[in-house]
Chains A and B, each alone.
Chain A
Amino acid sequence: MITAGQAGGAELALAGVGKRFQARDRVVTALEATTLTIENGEFVTLVGPSGCGKSTLLNIISGLTFASEGSVRLDGNTITGVNRRVGYITQQDNLFPWRTLRENVALPLELAGVPARERRGKADHWLARVGLSGFGDAFPYELSGGMRQRGNIIRTLIYEPSVILMDEPFGPLDAQTRIVLQDMLLSIWDSARSTIVFVTHDLTEAIALADRVLLMSARPGRIVRADRVNIPRPRNVFQIHEDPEFRRLYNEIWDELRVQVRNVDAAAH
């Protein structure tokens, strides 16, 4: 087992983080000042209607976008730009079409100057772990959507960032593949214990995976509700809908989410 690098996660602290941008004649608030602390090794999911600023929040934490106000701290150090302690997994797999799956997965190691043999070994280890042994030499166009998304996930896991941001990573996949990958993600997270911030539209997914579910309001985005999920781990994502605690939480959060989704709908018409 390869477990080099920083084991575990990092504490992520957002202090009054907000984002506004100028749209022609008016200022649009994408994200209202948000203060939030995510513990080291915590799995947090963010749910909310479309356009509520979930992705904006992830972009800010990743360092790809700057906040208009406030600061993000990682174990006490302010984030000033992209850095390798924060990994980012997007909905689009964005594998490089000219690289084989193995070369895609090994890219972060290549960027860091890891020798070729070691890169290959680690990449093959991760490919095996997600059931992709034998596909290392395939090019992305030769793989299914689920396979590509697995590749997308492990190429972030391979360099062991302390914080992993996931923006609807299972969004484009079919229902069965989703559950299989959710299960896979939980078992990997269980051994690595990095801090995860996971954005999703799917409330079932949000509760099944998380230690804490954060509900965001329609634009301007802000966190309106936070629920701790007290379902013991390891969880069985295939049967989680039968859990009474799951059902209670689902109904409670759904009541609130429904209001927010309606608000978006009302604003659109």
Chain B
Amino acid sequence: MSTPPPTEEPALAPVTRPRFDTESPWVINASRLILVVVLFALWEIGGGWLFDTFYFSKPSLIAKAFANDIVDPAFYTDLATTGLELVLGYVIGGVSGIALGILLARWRFVGKICDPFLLALNSVPRIAVAPMLIVWFGIGIASKVFLAGTLVFFITFFNTLSGIRGVDKALCDVARVQGASEWQIFTKVMMPHASAWILTGLKMSLPFALVGVIIGEFLVSSQGLGYRLNFYSTQYNTAGAISMILIMMFLMMVLTAIADRIDARLLRWRPSDREAGGVVPKA
């Protein structure tokens, strides 16, 4: 939208691009690549005399561990298990968070009663109840889904609630004067307004869903990426463990990129430099 203001006189001197243009995406990407190569090279070369590969491994060993993993059929079972737990936890937590958020925002009386209790519940460190989850849900996927789900739930719940409660009264009045029913005010004013908050909540809770699942798998499990990571580290297989961490990192980056795309598409009505507020989650 912002076009530069016309200058007094047209530029007479030809605009020469500097040899090293720090704004060019080519230069930036190439520099990033060089940075990664240098760091990995230092890690590779330094392993053995600068630091102990027993603790820190090195890229060639990690690559070998990764190659071993991706030909192992059990790895895919682990990946699928973690994926299933992640999806279930995220969807169940997200849907219930949005639903309860809408309910309590609409039903003000109950909302006011519940507010402090929900805050208290959200203040419980989720990791502290993790051992109880095994008692309640057993050692199967249910305990991981629950752990991930509660983390996602509170983030989306508080965002939904704030989004609906924070709607500008003037916008509601505009719709009311134009003949909107209470239901139409809800569907055409409150929900669209809250959607930005809800989407932000869903995006923010994505990494927490993975954290919940992995911690659940650390506690007790017989499969999953977290189980595999734990297994490697108890065997002092640092290369395998780091390879697993990198896989998780990559998984999260892909999911976040997808979420960003969806977000940008749905929220294109917002100027891009403005971010919707959100409730800072607690893990």
Contacts and interface: CB of A to CB of B under 8 A. Distances in A.
Interface in A13-70: 62-64
B269 A97 contact: yes
Interface stretch (B93-101, B113-121, B188-196, B214-222): B188-196
B50 interface: no
Nearest to B193: A98
B262 to A, nearest CB: 15
Contacts of A100: 269
Given A64-B176, A98-B193, A111 B269 contact: no
Interface in B191-217: 192-193, 195-196
A112 B179 contact: yes
B195 A82 contact: no
B17 interface: no
B189 A111 contact: no
Contacts of A97: 269-270
Interface in B145-199: 168, 170-171, 173-180, 184, 188-189, 192-193, 195-196
B179 A99 contact: no
A82 B172 CA distance: 12
Given A90-B170, A94-B170, A111 B195 contact: no
A70 to B, nearest CB: 21
Interface of B is mostly: helix
B1 interface: yes
A88 B171 contact: no
B177 A96 contact: no
Contact of B268 (A111, A139, A159): A139
Contacts of A156: 178
B273 to A, nearest CB: 10
Interface in B18-42: none
A2 B270 CA distance: 33
Contact of A111 (B171, B188, B270): B188
Nearest to A100: B269
B269 A141 contact: yes
B193 A88 contact: no
B177 A111 contact: no
A92 B177 CA distance: 15
A156 B173 CA distance: 13
B271 interface: yes
A44 B179 CA distance: 24
Interface string A77-118: 000001110111010101011111000000110111000000
Contacts of A87: 177-178
B104 to A, nearest CB: 23
Given A92-B170, A141-B269, A142-B1, A98 B177 contact: no
Contacts of B1: 142
Contacts of B184: 111
B261 to A, nearest CB: 18
Contacts of B176: 64, 82
Contacts of A90: 170, 174
Contacts of B195: 98
Given A96-B171, A97-B270, A141-B271, A107 B178 contact: yes
Identify which of A83, A86, A92, A96 gathers the most chain B CB atoms within 10 Å of its CB.
A96
A110 B184 CA distance: 10
A72 to B, nearest CB: 15
B189 A96 contact: yes
A159 B177 contact: no
Contacts of B196: 98
A255 B176 CA distance: 39
B177 A64 contact: yes
Interface in A146-187: 155-156, 159
Contacts of B177: 62-64, 82, 86-88
B180 A111 contact: yes
Given A64-B177, A111-B180, A94 B171 contact: yes
B174 A99 contact: no
Contacts of A92: 170
Contact of B179 (A84, A94, A98, A140): A84
4 nearest A-B pairs in the assembled complex, by CB-CB distance: A108-B178, A84-B179, A139-B269, A98-B269
Interface of A: 62-64, 82-84, 86-88, 90, 92, 94, 96-100, 107-108, 110-112, 139-142, 155-156, 159
Interface of B: 1, 168, 170-171, 173-180, 184, 188-189, 192-193, 195-196, 268-271
8 contacts: A64-B176, A83-B179, A94-B168, A96-B171, A98-B269, A107-B178, A111-B180, A111-B188
Given A87-B177, A111-B180, A141-B269, 20 more contacts: A83-B179, A84-B179, A86-B177, A87-B178, A90-B170, A92-B170, A94-B171, A94-B174, A97-B269, A98-B192, A107-B188, A108-B179, A111-B175, A111-B188, A112-B179, A140-B269, A141-B271, A142-B1, A156-B178, A159-B179
